[in-house]
Structure 1
Amino acid sequence: MEADERQTMSERIPVQIVETFEPSRPRTKTRSTDQLIHTRSFTGLFRNLRLGGAGFLFLLFFGTVWLNWGGRQAVLWDLAESRFHIFGATFWPQDFILLSALLIICAFGLFAITVFAGRVWCGYTCPQSSWTWLFMWCEKVTEGERNQRIKLQAAPWGPNKLARRAAKHTLWLGISLLTGLTFVGYFTPIRPLAQELMTLQLGGVSLFWILFFTAATYINAGWLREAVCMHMCPYARFQSVMFDKDTLTISYDAARGENRGPRKRDVAPASVGLGDCIDCQMCVQVCPTGIDIRDGLQMECIGCAACIDACDSIMDKMGYARGLVSYTSEHQLQGGKTHLLRPRLIGYSAVLLIMIGALAVTLAERPMVSLDVSKDRGLFRENSLGQIENIYSLKIINKTQQRQRYRLELVDSDGFQLQGKTELSLAAGEIVDLPVSVALVTDKPKSSSQAVSFKVVDSDEPGIYSVAKSRFVAPLNR
């Protein structure tokens, strides 16, 4: 009975096999027999843009750490002192909410750019991609062009192969060591750190982290390469939910390119029943992840536009129009028009602008003095005048870059009197723990626990102040 029902269901619901690309044209990888991707050298507009952008980012990363500002390192996350210096501003643990806001802004910025132009972050500014391109350049310098590298890979070990491989790995390790030193230099002053490293006197935690980031850079950019983008990075997995039919992605114009096939330059494609694609494999050979863009949009595509530059160069040589592979949208490929302004992109952009504005206002109004209050564990005591006292510890931080004079006072605390030191002077960035007491000057408290507010105010600039609240405990019956 059940077998008959299953047979009936299989007859009613036919199974259809769907191919995502032509079976006669399997996906092509630029891998040699040992599964390594050997990319080909190329030139073009997008390559120049990527080199310019990566060069600027390298200059920022490797150069900023050596700048000085006011007698100290300009950008330094001082873990020992729990403060973050960025040029003229100093941030404290109390300001870390600003870091969270900055990370959220970066996330929304990534969402907005992904909706607009796909994975351009991966192709142009991602550290993994930038360092991988740099390591591939080292490989080209030491081992030659693509065909030479493939032959070298297949050749038996000998003096030539050993020398070239040693030169390549020496460059890789040198760049990796410089990267590790620079990264740690943002957390430990770079100048003494570099001096200790050069004199082999570096030890402890700093040495561990330099070696750790050296190894991470060497392995990720030198050995893993595209595997990080294809298998380890989560961005490739969730980017598809942000794409729509107007997102600009790198695409192959199949209507114009098919049928593919070689031909002489002076032969019109239509006369031999071919499209503009001459099936030269250049777009495949320059791809850092080894995909064939002609198979359609794929998760492995990082949006680097190397295939666009390669294809445009071939179109120029053949005398055809550029754009067989280009940044385009699904709507445009279907003969429609790309809509740049659309609800999702407008929404992300609006939220991004609002958050940037809110962060700017918060930074501008950030109090340059910090006040934290902690009450003594004891409930209360009676002083020599018969008044009830509570003891507090005030932690005051001067967040400015100059010495400041401050005044302590109670606000909105009728019936209480601040006792102890009320005037103090703090150097730039100084932290002081100040014990004070508050006395109840009325005959009877309103309740057993009342709110008291402490205020520290700049004596020269009253607009700079900070307020913190605590509780005052007193017995109702004396």
Structure 2
Amino acid sequence: MSSRAIPIVPIKIHPRLPRGRFHNGRVAMVLLTQLLFFVTPWLTWHGRQAVLFDFPGSRFHLFGLTLLPQDFVYLAALLIFCAIALFWWTALAGRLWCGFSCPQTVYSQIMVWIERAIEGDRKARIALDAAPWSAKKLALRSASHGTMIAFSLATGFTFVGWFVPVRELVGHVDGWPLFWLLFYAAFTYLLAGLLREKVCLFMCPYARFQGVMFDKDTLVVSYDAQRGEPRGGLKKDATAPRGDCVDCGLCVQVCPTGIDIRRGLQYECINCAACIDACDEVMDKIGAPRGLIRFSSENRLAGKVDSARRLLLRPRVAVYGALMGVVGIATAYGFATRAPLEMNVLRDRAFLVRETPEGWLENGYTANLVNTGDETLILRFRVDGLPGAKLAEPTIVTLAPEKSASVMLRVDAPPEAVQRGSQPLRIVAESVDEAGVSVGEKTSFIGE
């Protein structure tokens, strides 16, 4: 029985640094996402934090927009839109989200950069793993992991700054903010600093059900076996047929999940396209056309599709696109018609109807007002819908930005204009100096 040498593979994957257009795209996405994440909480808008998810105050501030609990339908719409967009994008280009924008991928990439800057390139890190513990190894590992922990703490601080005014956190973090800072930092270090690709391989559910959103026209990172096989090194006197793949193994070395794309589509592939950059670089060196590994589909590789239009003209892509359009238009319409003033009216339960000294019939109401805008509103009230009805006394309310108030109102109506039982009435609050700012609420007036 012949024995065969088994290659020694490091337990920890140390991806080689690729070079190329897709790698540049990934770097750009890391920089863009982290710029948005770290800078946004420090922006101000009319004297307050521009973006703040204030759960204790039940308010979400998005620059000039303030969302209240009754506006959470917009948050639900946003989540639905994002879910459909992910399905749409997956049907088009597989797990491109995972390879370029997923927080796990982004933070893992940052941790690899830290490790590479301190411990060296791929060969140096593998050698350091295999070396016995020494003062040098301890110093390098302490420096790299200490830097990762410092970065994780910075992400935890920034994360909390999205929910608690970030300037209040500087120099003073305790209680629940401190707990969530440490919690988020610990998970950032654990998932991105220690586990990395294992999260994609064993913990992420998206990798498991992505196949149901693929079809034979979905673009994925693919190896062109017809062009690349049989593999073999370059030999000047070789007479046997040989494909373009020189079996250099660089596509495996640069892969953050450690797979060989030449084995076909695998759930571990996150479509980061690092193998495309590595292979294109080799093709340039040997004078072969680029694209041995490229974004392609099963039908394209088989020569069944000649036009890129097939990528978009598919039922599932059209359905996902239509659903995105419906949700997006409905949400945009809701925002466009959303007034900076909100009101609800409750009847005074202390009495249904009473007679005034003048012989008129009177009902009582409580108007609850919320100013969701950035300007102070001076409001007056009037009543519509019931002939002859009027407020018992003029009422003016000053409402500061993002403040609420409850106002007691009494509505009087002449007996001859009121029927027995309930009849519709509308109470209107309107700004004295801001044209077009008004809100009305339907209620009822009870007669004798």
The TM-score with structure 1 as length reference comes to: 0.85
**Partner of 1:335 in structure 2?**
303
Root-mean-square deviation (Å): 2.3
1:282 maps to 2:250: yes
Q: Cα distance, 1:421 vs. partner?
A: 5.0
What does residue range 238-249 of structure 1 map to in structure 2 within 5 Å? 238-249=209-220
**Partner of 2:318 in structure 1?**
346
**Partner of 1:221 in structure 2?**
192
Distance in 2 separating the partners of 1:383 and 1:115: 69
Residue identity over aligned pairs, in percent, reads: 46
Distance in 2 separating the partners of 1:267 and 1:241: 48
1:148 maps to 2:120: no
Aligned match of 2:56 in 80, 87, 112?
80
In structure 2, relative to structure 1, the CA distance for the partners of 1:267 and 1:209 (3 Å cut) is farther
Q: Cα distance, 1:101 vs. partner?
A: 1.5
Number of equivalent positions: 438
What whole-Å deviation, never above 9, does each CA across 1:164-205 have from its counterpart, x for those lacking one? 111111111111111111111111111121232xxxxx2111
1:375 maps to 2:343: no
Q: Cα distance, 1:287 vs. partner?
A: 1.0
1:208 maps to 2:172: no
> In structure 2, what residue type is equivalent to 1:291?
I
Matched-pair contact (CA < 8 Å) for 1:30–1:284:
no
**Partner of 2:43 in structure 1?**
67
The TM-score with structure 2 as length reference comes to: 0.91
**Partner of 1:463 in structure 2?**
436
Q: Cα distance, 1:444 vs. partner?
A: 8.7
**Partner of 2:3 in structure 1?**
none
Q: Cα distance, 1:325 vs. partner?
A: 0.7
Distance in 2 separating the partners of 1:389 and 1:407: 19
1:394 maps to 2:367: yes
1:433 maps to 2:406: yes
> In structure 1, what residue type is equivalent to 2:296?
T
3-state SS of 1:456 partner: strand
What whole-Å deviation, never above 9, does each CA across 1:343-381 have from its counterpart, x for those lacking one? 322332233234323322322221110002233443525
Q: Cα distance, 1:384 vs. partner?
A: 4.3
Matched-pair contact (CA < 8 Å) for 1:83–1:91:
yes
Q: Which segment is superposed worse, 439-448 or 457-466?
A: 439-448
**Partner of 1:199 in structure 2?**
none
Q: Which segment is superposed worse, 78-87 or 39-48?
A: 78-87
Distance in 1 separating the partners of 2:250 and 2:118: 23
Q: Which segment is superposed worse, 291-300 or 446-455?
A: 446-455
1:253 maps to 2:224: yes
In structure 2, relative to structure 1, the CA distance for the partners of 1:74 and 1:228 (3 Å cut) is same
Q: Cα distance, 1:45 vs. partner?
A: 0.9
In structure 2, relative to structure 1, the CA distance for the partners of 1:432 and 1:421 (3 Å cut) is farther
1:358 maps to 2:298: no
Q: Cα distance, 1:473 vs. partner?
A: 4.7
Distance in 2 separating the partners of 1:375 and 1:82: 25
Distance in 1 separating the partners of 2:387 and 2:263: 77
Distance in 2 separating the partners of 1:234 and 1:415: 65
Matched-pair contact (CA < 8 Å) for 1:383–1:389:
yes
Distance in 2 separating the partners of 1:295 and 1:76: 47
> In structure 1, what residue type is equivalent to 2:259?
I
3-state SS of 1:65 partner: helix
What does residue range 9-24 of structure 1 map to in structure 2 within 5 Å? none
Q: Cα distance, 1:31 vs. partner?
A: 4.6
Aligned match of 2:20 in 27, 39, 44?
44
3-state SS of 1:262 partner: coil
What whole-Å deviation, never above 9, does each CA across 1:34-66 have from its counterpart, x for those lacking one? x22111112111000111122111111111111
Q: Cα distance, 1:239 vs. partner?
A: 2.1
Distance in 1 separating the partners of 2:23 and 2:267: 21
Aligned match of 1:176 in 147, 152, 170?
152
3-state SS of 1:237 partner: helix
Matched-pair contact (CA < 8 Å) for 1:30–1:38:
no
Distance in 2 separating the partners of 1:419 and 1:398: 25
> In structure 1, what residue type is equivalent to 2:330?
A
What does residue range 288-307 of structure 1 map to in structure 2 within 5 Å? 288-307=256-275
Distance in 2 separating the partners of 1:294 and 1:352: 35
3-state SS of 1:167 partner: helix
In structure 2, relative to structure 1, the CA distance for the partners of 1:181 and 1:409 (3 Å cut) is same
Aligned match of 2:382 in 398, 409, 413?
409
Distance in 1 separating the partners of 2:276 and 2:226: 17
Matched-pair contact (CA < 8 Å) for 1:380–1:388:
no
Gaps of 5+ in 1: 1-27, 197-201
Aligned match of 1:236 in 207, 217, 221?
207
Matched-pair contact (CA < 8 Å) for 2:354–2:362:
yes
3-state SS of 1:85 partner: strand
> In structure 1, what residue type is equivalent to 2:332?
A
Distance in 1 separating the partners of 2:153 and 2:8: 30
In structure 2, relative to structure 1, the CA distance for the partners of 1:107 and 1:242 (3 Å cut) is same
> In structure 2, what residue type is equivalent to 1:345?
V
1:55 maps to 2:31: yes
Distance in 1 separating the partners of 2:201 and 2:258: 11
